[in-house]
Amino acid sequence: MSFLSITGATKTFGSNAVVKGFDLNVEKGEFISFLGPSGCGKTTVLRMIAGFETPTSGKIRIDGRDVTDLAPNKRRIGMVFQAYALFPNMNVFGNIAFGLKIAGLDKAQIETRVHEMLGLIGLEHLAERYPYEMSGGQQQRVALARALAPKPQVLLLDEPLSALDAKIRVSLREEIRAIQRQLGITTVFVTHDQEEAMSISDRIVVMNGGRADQIGTPSEIYNRPKTRFVAGFVGTLNVLRAQVDMRIPKKVTVGGQTVQLTKAVEYPDTDGSVSLALRPEALSLIPSASRDVTFEGMVKSVNFMGSVIRIRMDVGAEAISFDMFNSPNLVAPAIGQTALAHFASTDMFEVST
């Protein structure tokens, strides 16, 4: 049985359905990320798990117990917010101790647990500081410790890193993941940052229009997206229109050039065309035995991006982008030059609308 289960969850505000028939099963100790653009429903689902919103329909269970209609303080949930939400009139020790006092622990138990949490987040030396005396990253560590102190069954994080600068975000997300693994706590993390979700999640729920478009591991989401939305939202992607030879459904034409696919297309439009996707890193100017397809086209742009150089090339009426790893001896093709881009047919996949 799943540790956290959401079945048929729907949430409407007036006539507006924000979440539509949402289903998810999370195993104990799993780290799940909700990923999607603003307004897709990811925070609303998180708030329903926390008890801040009640589903219009559907059920939420934690460790086999129906918590759909329970108040937040009856659910054993730890919550970390984007804006830290620390008590400004309490020092670090007081903030972490707050939930323990509400739970009725005695002074000795509170002191022991707070010091455990301070050690976990590496801020033992800042126990007496107040939030205004600390950096954003330090405040968010305190918020995390406060959420974990009462030993919740599920940890919820609502875009906890979005207010931090890029370097701090990377280091803190790694710390959060390390702490989560150490404690083995079931965790749901909301973000609109695809790199964030890909780097720390066991599985990702890509949300679109109140629904889960796809649920899978980072590798599955990136390498085998099931919908065009997922394919375009996660990573950079070439989406090409191809004409299908219906007599040979593995054979398609892209920009006037023939490609033999590894499997027959499944979603041809009424005009016999299909959408095919190809990641930029799948293409190379260097031929090899594994790259069994070649596109010939004209180079339209060459963009230096540090570790890689991104090249855009027109193949007939279609445009493709691909990446070359930068090196001091690299000679990139010139704009207007005809070039050959090679890739493996197994790297091209069909996406539905």
> For position 267, which CATH number holds?
2.40.50.100
Clarify whether residues 166 and 17 are in a common domain. yes
Q: Which of 231, 252, 278 is the last residue of a domain?
A: 231
pLDDT tens sequence across 236-249: 889 888 888 878 87
Determine the structural domain holding residue 19 and report its residue range: 4-231
pLDDT score for 25: 97
Helix (H, G, I), strand (E, B) or coil at 219: helix
Clarify whether residues 227 and 241 are in a common domain. no
pLDDT score for 264: 81
pLDDT tens sequence across 20-34: 999 999 999 999 999
Clarify whether residues 324 and 288 are in a common domain. yes
pLDDT score for 286: 87
Helix (H, G, I), strand (E, B) or coil at 254: strand
pLDDT score for 307: 85
Strands of the chain (E only): list them: 4-13, 16-26, 31-35, 57-62, 65-66, 77-80, 154-158, 186-191, 203-208, 211-216, 238-244, 251-254, 257-260, 273-278, 293-304, 308-315, 318-325, 338-343, 349-350
Clarify whether residues 101 and 149 are in a common domain. yes
Please answer whether residues 44 and 11 qualify as being in contact, where contact means their C-beta atoms are separated by less than 8 angstroms.
Answer: yes
User: Among 135, 122, 93, which Cα is nearest to 110's?
Assistant: 93
pTM of the shown model: 0.86
Domain count, the chain: 2
pLDDT score for 65: 96
Q: What DSSP string describes 155-211?
A: EEEESTTTTS-HHHHHHHHHHHHHHHHHHT-EEEEEES-HHHHHHH-SEEEEEETTE
Q: Which two tokens stand for residue 115?
A: 């010091």
Residues of the chain with confidence (pLDDT) below 70: 353
pLDDT tens sequence across 34-47: 999 999 999 999 99
* Burial classification of residue 339, based on how many CB atoms lie within 10 Å of its CB (0-12 exposed, 13-18 middle, 19 or more buried): middle
Clarify whether residues 36 and 179 are in a common domain. yes
- CATH code assigned at 135: 3.40.50.300
Clarify whether residues 32 and 68 are in a common domain. yes
Q: Which of 231, 256, 285 is the last residue of a domain?
A: 231
pLDDT score for 16: 92
CA distance 342 to 326: 18
Please answer whether residues 37 and 53 qualify as being in contact, where contact means their C-beta atoms are separated by less than 8 angstroms.
Answer: no
Give me the residues paired with residue 34 across strands: 190, 205
Please answer whether residues 248 and 206 qualify as being in contact, where contact means their C-beta atoms are separated by less than 8 angstroms.
Answer: no
Backbone angles phi, psi at 191, to 5 degrees: -155, 155
Clarify whether residues 75 and 92 are in a common domain. yes
Q: Which two tokens stand for residue 222?
A: 């990136």
pLDDT tens sequence across 69-90: 999 999 999 999 988 889 999 9
* Burial classification of residue 295, based on how many CB atoms lie within 10 Å of its CB (0-12 exposed, 13-18 middle, 19 or more buried): buried
Clarify whether residues 177 and 272 are in a common domain. no
Q: Which of 231, 265, 300 is the last residue of a domain?
A: 231
Percent of the chain at pLDDT > 70 equals 99
pLDDT score for 232: 83
pLDDT score for 353: 60
12-38: string of b/e by CB count within 10 Å (b at 16+)?
Answer: eeeeebbbeebebebeeebbbbbbbee
Q: Which two tokens stand for residue 245?
A: 């030879």
CA distance 245 to 243: 7
For residue 9, count other CB atoms closer than 10 A to its CB. Answer: 25
Clarify whether residues 269 and 192 are in a common domain. no
CA distance 46 to 79: 10
Clarify whether residues 244 and 201 are in a common domain. no
User: Among 353, 351, 221, which Cα is nearest to 276's?
Assistant: 351
CA distance 269 to 169: 43
Clarify whether residues 71 and 175 are in a common domain. yes
For residue 270, count other CB atoms closer than 10 A to its CB. Answer: 5
Backbone angles phi, psi at 220, to 5 degrees: -65, -45
Clarify whether residues 151 and 46 are in a common domain. yes
